[in-house]
Amino acid sequence: MGKPMSKTATIAHFAKKFDLKKKFVASLFEELAGLAYKEAKNSFTLPGIGKLVLVNRKARLGRNPKTGETIQIPAKTVVKFRVAKACKEAVLPKKPLPTTPM
């Protein structure tokens, strides 16, 4: 497995590919992130990649792993990212079909 692509490398890639200035590409990514944060409550979709959604978690009982004491965990809203089917198919290797013995 190689190193993950950094923000700088991603910006440089798009700037070179589309013949744009790095500063302009960086501002596009910042605006995209800001829009995603603002629209997450309505679910924000990046076509072909996935979507940001808000999910309500119910209150539940938990356990302190150090003491074993039972504690009440309050209900809360969390942000989740759901990966698109197209992204899964492009990234994950295809599973071979099971063969039936004759």
pTM of the model: 0.76
End-to-end CA separation in angstroms for the chain: 39
Please report which confidence band the pLDDT of residue 95 belongs to, taking 50, 70 and 90 as the band edges: confident
Across 60-83, b (16+ Cβ under 10 Å) vs e yields eeeeeeeeeeeeeeeeeeeeeeee
Give the model's pLDDT for residue 102.
63
Model confidence pLDDT, tens digit, residues 59-87: 999 999 999 999 999 999 999 999 999 99
Q: Domain limits of the chain? A: 8-39, 43-90
Superfamily for the 43-90 domain:
IHF-like DNA-binding proteins (4.10.520.10)
Predicted confidence (pLDDT) per residue in 10-60, tens digit: 999 999 999 999 999 999 999 999 999 999 999 999 999 999 999 999 999
Cα–Cα nearest to 86, from 52, 51, 44, 43: 51
